[in-house]
Structures are given as structure tokens and as C-alpha cells.
Chain A
């Protein structure tokens, strides 16, 4: 059990000191260690949001499993969607070590009390989207998540190490699908470009609002939960994606995108942050569908989960 009760002043101060020392040493905080209540709450919120993103993220690509145009792609796509379920599982388990159960967090997702990555509120409109999501969305997720492998909370960091390895497979597979399509017909090349046009800006939004508008970043960084700012990660992603787009033969839809030799980095335009805020608030193209799908699956499965608990109780 994690100790959270307020201890007498002296003892509390000592616990806080020990915790601060762990953070300062960049060591891991483990489930049995004392931690400040706000640290725990912040972690639960972040891990839950991450877990929900994995689970909701199964839907846009899952949309194409039954229409995958080759048996090999069907296997790759199904395996990827399955991996995302596995990621959700690890992350809900990490949240469980902080006292938040999977069932409770799922209720919060369905009721809209907890969020998931807004990228999944965009629709998948062609098979090229499977490749683009792998390349750009898994790619952005990697940029966000690689630093989390060093996050201060042990179970979260360890899940992230495993997840990041698989995300990098997804990114490679997505990029490879796009590469193959670019070697195909004119229609396929047009499909790839059209897909990249739709996903580029939402992918940049995955890093969150500009640092100036991101009030929680400073505290999360101080606690070692977060390791880089939104803008730093966004820059890293753009710099990584530009040569990949060139190799692929697609144009990124940003007229302001250019190499800045002085900074040794690319200058680029800003996503439409009004659109971002609208999507976060529920006004994206697919918010209602994504939650309705999750709610339906969860509700439809309730009798099965009840049966499993009842059966287990009988055996006990």
C-alpha cells in the first residue's frame, strides 16, 4: 500500500525530503514509496489519459482491418491494433499501482471526465491513412514517449520502455506502407499525399499547446513526470519528419516550412490552435463516435465481465 495519510509534521517533512531527494537524483519512485498526493493525482491523470489514447486509438485504424487490400497488410494492421490493446493494458496496470482501477478509469473515459489524445478524433478516410497514422501519429507518439521512459514513476517508465519499442515498429510499418504505395499507381500516390495533407497538422497538435499556454508543464517537469516541453518535442518531430517526407516523395502542407541554418532546425507554421481547442472540447469530427463506440463495447461486455467474476467467485 502506498502511504498517503498526513503524518505528524516532522515525519511528513522527512518523507517529503526523501521524495525530493529521489526526484533530484533522477531515481524512480516506486508504488510502495511515499509520494505527495498531487504527484499521485497528476500521474494517475496522465497515465489514464495515455491508456485511454491507446484504447481509443484502436478505432481509427481498426476501421480498415476488414478492408486491408492484401493479406500481409491485414496481418500487419490487425497485429498493430492488437499491440495498442496491449499498451492500454500495461498502462492501466501502471495506474492500478497508484490505486486507480481499470474499471473506474474506463467509466471516466466514457463519461468524458478524462481525455484521450485528440488526434484520434480525426477520421480515417482511405487505406493510406493506415500508413500515415503509423508514420506521423506513432512517430509523434514516440517523440512524446521516449522521454517518458525516464519518467520518475517506476511502473510508468518501465511500461513506456516496452511500449516505445512497439511504437517504433508501428512507425516503420506505416512508413513502409506509404513507401510501397508511392511505388504503385498514380492513384495510390495521390492517396498518400491526400492523407499526409490531412494528418500533418493534427500530428503537430499531438504535442499540446505552445509552452506559453501550457500551465501544467512546469510542475510536471519539476516532478520529473515530464522531461521536455511541448515546443521542444514539436521541433524535434518536425526535424525528424522533413527528411522522411522527402524520401517518401510527399509535400508537407506547410508553406512556412524551411531549414533555418542559424538555428540548425526547421522553421515551421503553427497548427490551428482554435481547431485544437474545439477538438479537445468535443467538437472534432469523430469525438462522439469514438466515445459511443467505446461505451457500446464496454456496455455490451458488461454481462461477460459479470459472468467471469461470478464464476471466479464460485471457484474461490
Chain B
């Protein structure tokens, strides 16, 4: 028994890398995958479309990661970190897919910089180049706001990924098929808490009811088709989000009914000079989020991590 447990001391200096949980050096998340553009698809459209879905996952993952060490109980700390990790994994694959489809989408780095494409995209793009929905940008708020937002987002993303699994791009199709399992769990987690908060105590119900209008302000933007999404759908690689509204609405109505909560009637957040998140026009929250997220990477444009 002693030898068995003492063995964790050993091997730090050994050459066997198989035990390293995340590998010992950067690995392209798409290594070994055929990234040929499918027939009939335009590389720039595919890349921008991947950035849209990748940025949703990246920004939302960042927000959810801010619950680490802050959640109401250890089980929720773990579940929210899991959700953030799943979305971060999706973001990495989607950004890598974008870079492989259209290398010109990747910001230029200084000569000799070892920064991989996914990190150039995440850390060296400026805010207007981010294509995520405004829905995922606001600060977490309390646990009720977080649960309401996660319920709507995961219901939307699950419907989207289920359709994307039949994308004519085999890479996107594989990313979507993997994501479906993850996001289905996120939706279950959020749905369970949503009902619990609605029917728990008067205080939890009050907070949940206060949360709904905040979240629903950006609800309609989920289903507003951007021209790039329309093109991606027409080319067979992407999904037109307008087509998801019925299914997502039905699921949300079912959860709301189980919870005994009314769907909030609030005006939708309007566009900025005609643009929304998918156009690179964001809320005031995103620039602060990016300033923080990108700070260390930008201080070391030739750094290796």
C-alpha cells in the first residue's frame, strides 16, 4: 500500500507524458481532423458562422466560470464549473474550425509569436470582431438570474446543436453531436433549479420573478437571423435560428408552466445603429469582460503558456 501511494511523488521528472491531464504542450483541438470545406460552402461564411457560435460559448463560459468559489453550495460550484468547461471546449473547437476554414479571420501576430490560432482569436480580436449574442454578455447577477439565463440559453443552444448535427460540414456536425449531450445536461440542471426556485420559498420566487425580465430583454435576439446565418443555412453548413423559435418557445413554456411562472412581457433590447451582437455591436459589459480576459495574453504577445 505504501509503495502504491508513494508513487505519486515519482515521475514528475520522468519522460512519460501519458499521465498529464491536458497534455504537455499545445495541441490543435482539431488535430487529425479533415478540415476540407464541404462543397457549396463559402469559407468566409463558414468561418464567421463558427465564430458566432464559438463566441457565444466563449463569452458565456467566461461568465459562468465567475461562479467558481462563489456558488450557493459546493455541488453548484462544481456543476457551474462543468457547464463553463463544456462551453469552453465547444468554443475551442469552433474557433479552431473558424481558423482552419478561413485563416484570414485570425488576427495577425508579431513575427515568431507562438500563439495558436484559437488563442489569437480569443485574446487578440477586438470587441467589434466578436460575433456573440448580447444575451450572454451581462454579469451573472444572483443565482436566480444565472439559472434563468442558463435555462433560456441551453434550451436555445440544444435546439441549435441538434439541427447542426446534420451540417454538411463534418467538423461542425461532430462538434454539434458532442455538444448536444453536454447542453442537454445544462438544460436539465437549469430546469430543475428553475422549478425549485419558483416553488421553494417566497424569497426565491420573488428573486426568480425579478430575474426573468432581465434575461428576456435579450431573448428575441436569439432568433433574429443574421445574413451570415442565413447564408450558412442556405449552404447547408449552418442553422437558421429563426426556425428554432417554435421549439424553444414550447420547451420554455413547459418549464414556466411547471414552475407556475408567467412568461415576462418586456420590450426587447433594440439594435445599436442597426446592429446587434452578431454584427459586433455589444452591450457595455463585453468590453470590460474582454479587457479582463485578454489582459495577460496581450501583455505577452510572444508568450508561451
Do A and B interact with each other, yes or no?
yes
Q: How far is the CA of A79 from the CA of B20 in the complex (A)?
A: 13
1/0 contact string of B214-253 vs chain A (CB within 8 Å): 0000000000000000000000000000000000000000
Residue in A55, A175, A180, A311 with the greatest tally of chain B CB atoms within 10 Å: A311
In the assembled complex, B31 has its CB within 8 A of some CB on chain A: no
- Please, which residue of chain B has its CB at the minimum distance from the CB of A59? B69
**A146 CA to B74 CA in the complex, in Å?**
24
Contact with A along B106-125 (1 / 0, CB 8 A): 00000000111011001100
Q: Is A68 an interface residue (CB 8 A)?
A: yes
- Using CB atoms and an 8 Å cutoff, list the residues of chain A in contact with chain B: 55, 58-59, 62, 65-76, 78-79, 81-82, 85-86, 88-89, 92, 102, 127, 142-143, 146, 149-150, 161, 164-165, 167-169, 171-173, 175-177, 180-181, 183-185, 187-188, 240, 243-244, 247, 293, 296-297, 300-308, 310-311, 314
Q: Are A240 and B9 in contact (CB under 8 A)?
A: yes
Whether A82 and B12, one on each chain, are in contact in the complex, defined by CB atoms closer than 8 angstroms, is no
Identify the closest chain B residue to A165 (Cβ): B8
How many angstroms from the CA of A236 to the CA of B67 in the assembled complex? 37
Q: Identify the stretch in B154-162, B178-186, B197-205 within 8 Å (CB) of chain A at 4 or more residues.
A: B197-205
Per the bound structure, the CA–CA distance linking A188 and B38 in Å amounts to: 42
**How many Å from the CB of A207 to the closest CB on chain B?**
15
Contact B78 A86 (CB under 8 A): yes
Partner of B71, one of A73, A89, A301: A301
Q: Which secondary structure characterizes the binding site on chain A?
A: helix
List the B side residues contacting A188 at CB < 8 Å: 300, 303-304
B65 lies within 8 A of chain A by Cβ = yes
Smallest CB-CB separation from B115: which chain A residue?
A70
B19 touches A172 (CB 8 A): yes
Docked pose: A261 CA to B240 CA in angstroms: 72
Seen from chain B, the residues whose Cβ lies within 8 Å of a Cβ on chain A are: 1-2, 5-6, 8-9, 12-13, 19-26, 58, 62, 65-66, 68-78, 81-82, 84-85, 88-89, 91-92, 95, 114-116, 118-119, 122-123, 142-143, 195-197, 199-201, 203-204, 207, 292-293, 295-297, 300, 302-305
Number of A-B pairs whose CB atoms are under 8 Å? 201
Residues of B within 8 A of A171 (CB): 12
Residue of B65, B66, B118, B200 near A308 (CB, 8 A) is: B200
Question: Complex Cα distance A81/B65, Å?
Answer: 10
> Which chain B residues border A169 with CB–CB below 8 Å?
19-21
Contact B200 A311 (CB under 8 A): yes
Which of A66, A161, A306 is B201 in contact with, Cβ under 8 Å? A306
Task: Out of A70, A165, A240, A307, name the residue touching B297 (CB < 8 Å).
Answer: A70
Q: Which residues of A contact B295 (CB under 8 A)?
A: 67
**A70–B199 CB distance below 8 A:** no
CB distance from A182 to the nearest CB of B (A): 9
Residue B72 contacts which of A73, A150, A176, A305 (CB distance < 8 angstroms)? A305
Residues on A with beta carbons closer than 8 Å to the beta carbon of B122: 71
Quick check: B21 and A173 within 8 Å, CB to CB? Answer: yes
User: Is the Cβ of A69 less than 8 Å from the Cβ of B123?
Assistant: yes
How many Å from the CB of A154 to the closest CB on chain B?
Answer: 14
29 intermolecular pairs with C-beta atoms under 8 Å apart: A66-B292, A68-B296, A75-B92, A76-B21, A79-B81, A82-B85, A86-B78, A89-B74, A127-B296, A142-B9, A146-B9, A150-B5, A169-B20, A172-B21, A175-B12, A177-B305, A184-B303, A185-B303, A240-B9, A297-B69, A300-B70, A301-B71, A304-B73, A305-B73, A306-B200, A306-B204, A307-B197, A307-B200, A308-B196
Minimum CB–CB distance for B175 against chain A, Å = 15
Q: What B residues does A67 contact at CB under 8 A?
A: 292-293, 295-296
Q: With contacts A67-B292, A89-B78, A243-B13 known, is A150 near B21, CB below 8 A?
A: no
Whole-angstrom CA separation of A127 from B78 in the bound complex: 23
* Pairs of residues from A and B, 8 with the lowest C-beta to C-beta distance, nearest first: A307-B200, A301-B72, A307-B204, A304-B72, A184-B304, A82-B81, A168-B8, A58-B69
A69 to B294, alpha carbons, bound, how many Å? 7
Q: How far is the CA of A81 from the CA of B80 in the complex (A)?
A: 12
A184 B92 Cβ-Cβ under 8 A: no
CB-CB under 8 A from B303, the residues of chain A are 69, 181, 184-185, 187-188
Q: Are A66 and B293 in contact (CB under 8 A)?
A: yes
Q: In the assembled complex, how far is the CB of residue A286 from the closest CB belonging to chain B, in whole angstroms?
A: 13
Is A181's CB under 8 angstroms from B77's CB?
A: no
Q: Which residues of A contact B195 (CB under 8 A)?
A: 311
Pick from A66, A70, A73, A185 the residue with the most CB of B within 10 Å.
A70
Q: Which residues from B are CB-within-8-Å of A180?
A: 25, 304-305
Tell me, in angstroms, the Cα distance from A172 to B15 when the chains sit together: 12
Q: Which residues of B contact A168 (CB under 8 A)?
A: 8
A145-B282 Cα distance, complex, nearest whole Å = 48
Note all chain B residues with C-beta closer than 8 A to A164. Answer: 5, 8
